[in-house]
Chain A
Amino acid sequence: MFVLEARELTKHFGGLKALEAVSFKVKEGAIHSIIGPNGAGKTTLFNCLTGVTRPTRGSIHFSGQEISRLQPHEVAELGIARTFQNIRLFPEMTVMENVMVAQHTRTKYGLLSAVLRGSSFMSKERAVREKGFEYLELMGLEDHAEALAGNLPYGSQRRLEIARALATEPKIILLDEPTAGMNPMETLEVMDLIRKVKGLGKTVILIEHDMKLVMGISEWILVLDHGVGIAEGSPEEVRNDPLVIEAYLGRETTH
């Protein structure tokens, strides 16, 4: 039922408490959102979940295993994929190659078979390419398969990040502000794509700045403020939570 659980997750950068005893459970096959103002610790939370940074305290459990000490590539192999808030594609590789590298842990062969190119190698490579193409199609990038990723327009780069994360064949996909910098049209498209991702049976965790945007799409929301989880629950519960209104919406009106 729950695929991922964080217990008392804490991350300090020197004196700065980026995360302070955050606990939550993630339900399989649902869309979850993490919201909170700038610097609330959302990206830090993703970094902890994916092994990019090591939490100061606390534990993370994923399909019955403690993963907070694992390396990023081990976490990826277990089945957690992510996108980055500041886009991190492989710009000098083609769009297709970007989704091909992402299947690194799902297709295994050694140096020797890469050199000899036997029939098993060829069929594995063909499968990697076909799979890659499917993910590009899903994200509407199939026309740009042979373009360099760095040459894609901004919105397409964000979608390629999602395609690449999907290509690692994860159980859970973490999306860090996938609509940042997009216009309202593109934003709506991405929200549709996220529903499609859920339709593939993936569990989604979404970081969003814009509270209104996540209300319609999420089944469960966690609100972070100054590294502390101040509220969690259904969109209804969160919307009406006085702490959230003060910490998050309250600030919105002062802007």
Chain B
Amino acid sequence: MKGVVQDQARSSRKSIAQRARESAGRSVMLRSFFIAAWAALLFLPFHGIRSALVLFAGIFAGLPVMQSAMRLGGPGEWMQRLPGFRAFTLRSFPFLRTSALPVFLLALFVLPFTLKDYYLDVLVMSGIYMLLALGLNVIVGFTGLLNLGFAAFYAIGAYTYALLNTKFGLGFWPSLPLSAVAATLSGLLLAVPALRLRGDYLAIVTLGFGEILRIVLNNWDSLTNGPNGISGIAPPFLFGISLGSLNFYYYLVLGLVLLSVLIIRRVKSSRVGRAWIAIRENEIAASSVGVNVTRYKLYAFAFGTFWAGIAGALFAAKMRFVSPESFTFMESVFILSMVILGGIGNIYGALAGAFILVLLPEALRDVQMYRMLLLGAGLVLLMIFRPQGILGGRKGVRIRG
């Protein structure tokens, strides 16, 4: 019997990962079919059959890609062995660790003096998306909770400042923390019931929340002025001086991005961050070593949506105008793409993803029609050849023997 037992154990050891992957593959297909069908049906009354079909196709194809990106650790081993592959990836970008950091920061600081307004504007937008990607990365990347409605919290941040400013005359500075708090509270409000659901269902609920919020913003004319949006939002003032210039927004966004990177980094390497990652890695084991899983998922939601609120207030102040159009489902997908592109769970990956995905469409302006197509194709290729994203995938010290 001893032999039987050992054989059994050995064979189960070998095939656990393999079996898990196989069955995961099958059920992912099935589930993404249902999710896609459900989402398409939800969209049908609002957007007609064509966009419903597009959405169905998008989700049906996209979900397995995203999930394999989140589940599979590495890319093909063979790719890693290609000469120069490591150097090709951005993982070992030197400025993050070496004394080049102050030089890099100084360069960021003097950049506005050398750039045309158009480029500065693009940089400011990419900074706002960096905050969004950093926030979503806490939820999706650290904690492993798929959120398809992140733009909703961005919207709440933006509308909070827009309304506080236009209805109550509240300035930008007191509104900024209030926007963040409003986004955090709505994040908690959604998370408390939604976290009872697992994995894919959470994705559906967050998607639904995003859509519902957008529809509410579109239809609550007396408060939000419906599809016409809210205009005449004031820029920040300091000692009575308007700070509406592009240069100012650049420095403001730069400061906030640096601050958020610092804070998120510190939280990540504390018991809070370790608990989040443990939940992502293995929920049952996390709870068995004493992590209150529900509570820490809530923390992740609250902490992640906080940055969306900040980004929203910045966006409203910079644009001086908000409308529901800016906070569609596509916006949520866009932010999620940044996180995935950069490398799920990697802070600098989120920055890189946001930077690339804001810059690239601008660079591709001449081919307007095809740029979304090109981006989509690029993302699919990335998922195939480097599913852990540009900067993702931890290496750790190699083990011999």
On A, residues with C-beta under 8 Å from B are: 50, 52, 71-73, 76-77, 81-82, 84, 86, 88-94, 97, 100-105, 107-109, 111, 114-115, 117, 121, 125, 128, 144, 146-148, 150-154, 164-165, 167-168, 177, 180-181, 209-210, 212, 251-252, 255
Instruction: Say which one of B55-63, B95-103, B208-216, B281-289 lies at the interface with A.
Output: B281-289
Instruction: Say which one of B9-17, B153-161, B191-199, B379-387 lies at the interface with A.
Output: B9-17
Interface of chain B, helix or strand or loop or mixed? helix
Contact with A along B262-277 (1 / 0, CB 8 A): 0100110011111101
Which B residues are CB-close (under 8 A) to A102?
A: 289-290
Considering only residues 369-401 of chain B, those with a C-beta below 8 Å from chain A are 394-399, 401
The complex places the Cα of A180 from the Cα of B292 at a distance, in Å, of 29
> Are B290 and A92 in touch, CB under 8 angstroms?
no
The complex places the Cα of A103 from the Cα of B288 at a distance, in Å, of 11
The complex places the Cα of A105 from the Cα of B290 at a distance, in Å, of 6
| Distance in Å: Cβ of B294 to nearest Cβ of chain A | 9
The complex places the Cα of A12 from the Cα of B292 at a distance, in Å, of 26
> Are B394 and A73 in touch, CB under 8 angstroms?
no
> Are A73 and B292 in touch, CB under 8 angstroms?
yes
| Distance in Å: Cβ of B269 to nearest Cβ of chain A | 8
| Distance in Å: Cβ of A211 to nearest Cβ of chain B | 9
Considering only residues 61-77 of chain B, those with a C-beta below 8 Å from chain A are 73
Considering only residues 9-41 of chain B, those with a C-beta below 8 Å from chain A are 9-10, 12-13, 16
Count of CB-CB pairs between chains A and B under 8 Å: 138
Chain B interface size, as a band, is: 35 or more
> Are A255 and B270 in touch, CB under 8 angstroms?
no
* Interface-central residue, B9, B263, B299, by most chain A CB under 10 Å: B9
Given the known A-B contacts A71-B292, A72-B287, A151-B396, are A104 and B281 also in contact in the complex, defined by CB atoms under 8 Å? Answer: no
> Are B289 and A101 in touch, CB under 8 angstroms?
yes
> Are A255 and B1 in touch, CB under 8 angstroms?
yes
> Are A104 and B293 in touch, CB under 8 angstroms?
no
On B, residues with C-beta under 8 Å from A are: 1-2, 4-6, 9-10, 12-13, 16, 73, 263, 266-267, 270-275, 277-278, 280-282, 284-293, 299, 303, 345, 394-399, 401
> Are A115 and B267 in touch, CB under 8 angstroms?
yes
> Are B291 and A52 in touch, CB under 8 angstroms?
no
Contact of A76 among B9, B273, B290, B395 (CB under 8 A): B290
> Are B5 and A147 in touch, CB under 8 angstroms?
no
Given the known A-B contacts A52-B288, A82-B288, are A209 and B272 also in contact in the complex, defined by CB atoms under 8 Å? Answer: no
The complex places the Cα of A153 from the Cα of B13 at a distance, in Å, of 12
Which B residues are CB-close (under 8 A) to A84?
A: 284-285, 288
The chain B residue sitting closest to A148, CB to CB, is: B396
Given the known A-B contacts A104-B274, A251-B1, are A73 and B287 also in contact in the complex, defined by CB atoms under 8 Å? Answer: yes
| Distance in Å: Cβ of B102 to nearest Cβ of chain A | 20
* Interface-central residue, A114, A121, A144, A168, by most chain B CB under 10 Å: A114
Contact of B284 among A72, A100, A128, A255 (CB under 8 A): A72
The complex places the Cα of A144 from the Cα of B292 at a distance, in Å, of 28
* Interface-central residue, A92, A167, A168, by most chain B CB under 10 Å: A92
* Interface-central residue, B4, B6, B272, by most chain A CB under 10 Å: B6
Given the known A-B contacts A90-B277, A101-B275, A148-B394, are A73 and B290 also in contact in the complex, defined by CB atoms under 8 Å? Answer: yes
Contact of A101 among B291, B345, B401 (CB under 8 A): B291
Which A residues are CB-close (under 8 A) to B9?
A: 177, 180-181
In the A-B complex, the 8 residue pairs with the smallest Cβ-Cβ separation, listed nearest first, are A114-B270, A148-B396, A90-B281, A105-B290, A181-B9, A76-B290, A88-B285, A72-B287
Q: A73-B291, A81-B289, A114-B267 are in contact. List 14 more A-B contacts (CB 8 A).
A: A52-B288, A71-B292, A72-B287, A73-B287, A73-B292, A76-B288, A93-B274, A93-B278, A101-B275, A114-B273, A144-B399, A152-B399, A177-B9, A181-B13
The chain A residue sitting closest to B264, CB to CB, is: A115
The complex places the Cα of A180 from the Cα of B6 at a distance, in Å, of 7
> Are A147 and B281 in touch, CB under 8 angstroms?
no
> Are B398 and A252 in touch, CB under 8 angstroms?
no
Can you list 27 residue pairs at the A/B interface with Cβ under 8 Å?
A: A73-B290, A76-B289, A81-B288, A86-B16, A89-B282, A91-B281, A100-B271, A101-B274, A101-B289, A102-B289, A104-B291, A107-B271, A111-B299, A114-B271, A114-B272, A114-B273, A115-B263, A115-B266, A115-B267, A125-B270, A147-B396, A148-B395, A151-B398, A152-B399, A177-B9, A180-B9, A181-B13
